[in-house]
A and B are shown apart, each in its own frame.
Chain A
Amino acid sequence: MSKNLVELVRRHHAAQAPTALEVLKAAMEHRGEITDEDRRIAAEASGLPEAAVYGVSTFYDDLLQPRGKRHIRVCTGTACFAATGDAHVDELRQALGLEFGQRSDDRAVSLAETVCLGFCHSSPAVRDGDIVDAGPGVLDRVLSGTSRAAPEPEWSSVLDRPVLTRPGDWSGLARAIAELDPEELLQEVKAANLRGRGGAGFPAGTKWEFTRAAQGEQKFIVANGDEGDPGSYIDKYLMERNPALVLEGMALAAYAVGASHGFVLCRSEYPRSKPALEAAALAARAAGWLGEDIGGSGFSFDVTVLEGAGSYVVGEETALLACVEGRRGTVSARPPFPAVRGLYGMPTVVNNTETLGNVPFIAREGAEAYRALSPDGTPGTKLVCFNERFTRPGVYEVRFGTPLRQLCEELAGGMVDGREIKALQIGGPLGGILPGWRLDVPFDFDPLASEGCMVGHGGILAFDDSTNMRSVARHLLRFGAHESCGKCFPCRIGLRRAYEMFSTEQPVERARLEPLLETLELGSLCAHGGGMPAPLRSLLKHFPEELRVS
């Protein structure tokens, strides 16, 4: 994206203008479709040229699927797939007589696809207007017009003194501004060896150090709440049930690097996240934890909560910043890194919401106490979540290094209906697939990497023994191709070709598949194209007959 465009949106942002994406989203909410007149209004209001606004309006799922009076979004995420093999999707399509993206002629009903509503503990899930219904009987209720809000997942911690499931109380920020100068807080976070929880595991303290050292008239903190991984509802839990903890983490990051404003980008697939964060921000302002001169320290910081519009790749940090600016959520080559040139061209910390949720504990208790939490693994704790195939699905705070079998069997209670775990996908769609006979691996970065898997964001998704693994490959590649941002050639074309290979019943030629996987892995610009081969490789290794690759 050209510097000219970034400068255009920066100037308009400085003058309190809305972003083009915000205006287009509002038009969609209001009218159920987007017209050229809406695009002209969005261009006028945001400062983005008309052509660029057109580009935005053709990028995000939420802006592309017309809405009727009743807009029904069916979840095609991996947990719902693992629950029904997509039978719920076909049934709903047939009963409504609509395909994805279609609206009835009288504009009464519309059907859209949405990838992961975060009700993976109770699949399948359907969003009817703003009500997310899920679990047994959901289709009957949706079709009879009696949708009801599904129960939110349970959560618990195996620790006596939790880090992430303790309600945020601003005690970390209170201690930091009273006892630590910004450099001391930064060093504490570095000493804690806090690794990013969004998937890549990059040390948060190092990111902060770059931003602190970078020159800029303003610096920003951006909390990445765009939890796109199908099968994961960890950020959803944090943003909706513990939002003060996320905001406190942001304020601490801001204190350490010298930032004055923060943004949370949450997903539009989670209709409760933005209101919960905004309510927590309001309460924090009233209590003096956000705003000017916090606690009489001279430190000022406030946050804005924004909502995405349906794009998985927007979880990548450069795409995330483009989305915050209201532009197309495509990936940009790094360098420059956001720490140096990020939001509106200014030095920016981009951290996952869970990463930020660790910081209040570190600020209050210190790095040593934090490192002691997981004596057998990576410092700190991790939130994991389980899908509906488990007996006790929910969000759990666990220690790194816990054997996966213990997590799956003791914590989550194994499979329902006497089923067996055929395979797990851990950490999202870019994670490798671990067969059910290899669960004795510790849950941590290095041990999982040695199995071709990853911690990722911490979703633990089981396929039971009734699952056909070739259909898993097809499901994942359909998702991968649909969500490719379209910027780099290997991902844009390669994922489409890979999906096409698995979308028929024909055997797949290994001689054509292998070079395609290599091209995706080594050629792609970001982890989306680079990571999609990982589950394919583990499926090829562990389930070669089912995949029918020869």
Chain B
Amino acid sequence: MLVTIDGHDVEVSPGATVLQAIHALGREVPTLCYDRRQDPFGACRACLVGAEGAPGPIPACTTPCRDGMRIDTQDPTARRVVTAVVELVLSELPDPPGEHTELGALARQLGIRTLRWSGHVHERRRDERHPYLVFQHELCISCGRCVRACDEVQGAFALTATGRGFDANVTAGLDAGFLDSTCVSCGACADTCPTDAITEVTLLNLSDTA
């Protein structure tokens, strides 16, 4: 089927998502909860785009393509909502994200310098007992990528989403840290984390000395 992205036609197979069509053209839209190795999740809403005829922006990652669909990745409403969503995410962290992280890069790309909303932030909580992995819970934005990497890619089921609402977070095992969980130290969670909430110790050491 044929889909038009920002005026450019692209042929996609049935079942392809709008985000896959955008990627097939070599284009990008912001994402935070998306990892192409995992099933789409639809949580972060950073990939909202305009679709002709739709009542509002649509999430590119979970929307299947329809033949003849016309997508506008620069739709002003979608861009406005995405910027607000990223501001909200930044507002839940006690410190700005590292510049090298995906979240830090996205904030720069969207030109976010000040936050319109502030309030309660995540409490600092650090688990450093594991020899290779460090968990900084206050940096978690509940994108679910680590949990899905552990479930879908590694099959270790060591991680889970916890809590609900603003207090949602992620933890290992029965909340006693990586060491006391079924973690196999593969590092897939740290690899996919967009905020450095989960990092490999070596990388953390490097950034500490930098």
Q: Residues of A at under 8 Å CB distance from B?
A: 2-5, 36, 39-40, 49-52, 54-55, 58-59, 311, 328, 330, 332-335, 481-490, 492-497, 500, 512, 515-516, 518-519, 521-525
Q: Which of A4, A484, A489, A518 contacts B43 (CB 8 A)?
A: A489
Closest B residue by C-beta to A334:
B62
- Residues of B with Cβ closer than 8 Å to A? 32, 39-46, 48, 56-57, 59, 62, 64, 77, 80-81, 84-85, 88-89, 91-92, 116-117, 119-120, 141-142, 148, 151-152, 155, 157-168, 171-175, 181-182
- Interface residue from B56, B89, B162 paired with A493 (Cβ < 8 Å): B89
**A38–chain B nearest beta-carbon distance, Å:** 10
Closest to B150 in A: A51
Chain B, Cβ-Cβ closest to A52: B160
Q: List 23 A-B contacts (CB under 8 A).
A: A4-B155, A50-B181, A51-B173, A51-B182, A52-B157, A54-B173, A54-B175, A55-B161, A59-B162, A59-B163, A59-B164, A328-B161, A333-B40, A334-B62, A335-B64, A482-B165, A485-B165, A489-B141, A490-B84, A512-B116, A519-B88, A522-B77, A522-B81
| A495 in contact with B171 (CB, 8 Å) | no
- A522 nearest CB across to chain B (Å): 5
Nearest A-chain residue to B159, judged by Cβ: A51
Could you say which of B39, B89, B117, B165 contacts A484, with CB atoms under 8 Å apart?
B165
Q: Give complex CA distance A49, B158 in Å.
A: 8
What is the CA–CA distance of A62 and B80 in the complex, to the nearest angstrom?
38
Contacts A4-B155, A52-B160, A484-B164 known; A489 to B89 CB distance under 8 Å? yes
Besides the contacts A4-B152, A54-B160, A518-B81, what 6 more A-B pairs have beta carbons closer than 8 Å?
A49-B160, A333-B40, A334-B62, A482-B165, A486-B163, A522-B81
Q: Contacts A55-B160, A492-B142, A500-B119 given: A4-B167 contact, CB under 8 Å?
A: no
Query: Across the interface, do A51 and B165 meet the contact criterion of CB distance under 8 Å?
Result: no
Q: Which 10 A-B pairs have the closest CB atoms?
A: A333-B42, A486-B168, A55-B160, A49-B157, A2-B151, A333-B62, A484-B165, A51-B160, A496-B166, A500-B119
Q: Are A486 and B166 in contact (CB under 8 A)?
A: yes
> A34–B28 Cα gap in the complex (Å)?
45
CB < 8 Å neighbour of B171 from A54, A311, A328, A523: A54
Contact partners of A486 in chain B: CB under 8 A: 142, 161, 163-168
Complex contacts, B89 vs chain A, CB 8 Å: 489, 493
Shortest CB-to-CB span from A164 to chain B, Å, is 32
Interface of A is mostly: helix
Smallest distance from the beta carbon of B42 to chain A beta carbons, Å? 3
CB distance from A329 to the nearest CB of B (A): 8
Q: Chain A residues near B119: list those with CB within 8 A.
A: 496-497, 500
B119 — nearest CB in chain A belongs to which residue? A500
Give chain B residues whose Cβ lies under 8 Å from the Cβ of A495: 165-166
Given A5-B151, A519-B88, A525 contacting B45 (CB threshold 8 A): yes
- Residue among A3, A482, A492 facing the most chain B CB atoms (10 A cut-off): A492
B172: chain A residues at CB < 8 Å are 51
Chain B residues whose C-beta falls within 8 Å of the C-beta of A330 in the assembled complex: 161, 164
- B39, B88, B162, B174: the one contacting A50 at CB < 8 Å is B174
Instruction: Evaluate contact between B174 and A39: CB separation under 8 angstroms.
Output: yes
In this complex, what residue of B is CB-closest to A48? B157
Min CB distance, A323 to chain B, in Å? 13
A487 to B48, CA, bound (A): 16
Q: Give B188 Cβ to nearest chain A Cβ, in Å.
A: 13
Which residue of chain A has the shortest Cβ distance to B55 in the bound complex?
Answer: A522
Contacts of B171 in A (CB 8 A): 51, 54-55
Q: Is the CB of B44 within 8 A of A489?
A: yes
Give bound CA distance, A124 to B116, whole Å.
38
A77 CB, nearest partner CB in chain B, Å: 18
In the bound assembly, the distance between CA atoms of A483 and B168 in angstroms comes to: 12
The answer to whether residues A496 and B42 also contact, given A4-B152, A486-B142 and a CB cut-off of 8 A, is no
Question: Judging by beta carbons under 8 Å apart, are A51 and B157 in contact?
Answer: yes
Q: Are B92 and A523 in contact (CB under 8 A)?
A: no
Q: A493–B166 contact, CB under 8 A? A: yes
Alpha-carbon distance A484/B80, docked complex (angstroms): 23
In the assembled complex, the CB of B123 is this many whole angstroms from the nearest CB of chain A, namely 14
Give A59 to B142 CA distance when docked, in angstroms: 14
Tell me whether B84 and A333 are in contact (CB under 8 A): no
Determine the chain B residues whose CB is within 8 A of the CB of A51 once the complex forms. Answer: 157-160, 171-174, 181-182
Give bound CA distance, A50 to B204, whole Å: 28
Assuming the contacts A55-B161, A333-B42, asked whether A492 and B81 have C-beta atoms less than 8 A apart, the reply is no
Given contacts A59-B163, A518-B80, contact A488 B42 (CB under 8 A): yes
Smallest Cβ-Cβ distance to B143: which chain A residue:
A489
Contacting residues, chain A, for B64 (C-beta < 8 A): 335
List chain A residues, Cβ under 8 A from B44: 488-489
Q: Which of A2, A50, A328 contacts B152 (CB 8 A)?
A: A2
Query: In the assembled complex, which residues on chain B have CB atoms less than 8 Å from the CB atom of A524?
Result: 45
Question: With A51-B171, A518-B81 known to touch, is A2 a contact of B164 (CB < 8 Å)?
Answer: no
Contact A49 B42 (CB under 8 A): no
Provide the residues of chain A in CB contact with B167, threshold 8 Å. 486
Establish whether residues A522 and B174, one from each chain, have CB atoms under 8 Å apart when the complex forms.
Answer: no
CB < 8 Å: which of A5, A481, A483, A489 contacts B88? A489
Per the bound structure, the CA–CA distance linking A218 and B151 in Å amounts to 25
Question: Which B residues touch A40, using CB under 8 A?
Answer: 174
Complex Cα gap A516–B119 (Å): 14
Set of chain A residues within 8 Å of B158, measured between Cβ atoms: 49, 51
Measured CB to CB, the nearest residue on chain B to A494 is: B88
From A50, A334, A512, give the contact of B182 (CB < 8 A). A50
CA distance A256 to B158 in the complex (A): 42
Who on chain B is nearest to A503 by CB?
B119
Chain B residues with CB under 8 Å of A518's CB are 80-81, 84
Complex CA distance for A311 and B85, rounded to whole angstroms:
24
Q: How far is the CA of A333 from the CA of B39 in the complex (A)?
A: 11
With a 10 A CB-CB cut-off, give which of A332, A489, A494 has the most chain B CB atoms. A489
> B91, A497: Cβ atoms under 8 Å?
yes
In the complex, A365→B175 CA distance in Å? 56
- Rounded to whole Å, the gap between the CB of B6 and the closest CB of chain A is 20
**Interchain CA distance A473-B91 in the complex, whole Å:** 22
The residue in chain A whose Cβ has the minimal distance to the Cβ of B78 is: A522
Q: CA separation between A522 and B160, bound complex, in Å?
A: 28
A residues in contact with B160, CB < 8 Å: 49, 51-52, 54-55
Q: Cβ of B151 and Cβ of A523 under 8 Å apart?
A: no
From A4, A54, A494, contact of B174 by CB (8 A): A54
In the assembly, what is the distance between CA of A49 and CA of B166, in Å?
24
> Which chain A residues border B46 with CB–CB below 8 Å?
489
Residues of chain B contacted by A39 (CB below 8 angstroms): 174
Q: How far is the CA of A518 from the CA of B77 in the complex (A)?
A: 9
Inter-subunit contact A481/B166 (CB<8 Å)? yes
Contact of B163 among A52, A58, A332, A512 (CB under 8 A): A58
Cβ-neighbour of A490 out of B85, B91, B162 (below 8 A): B85
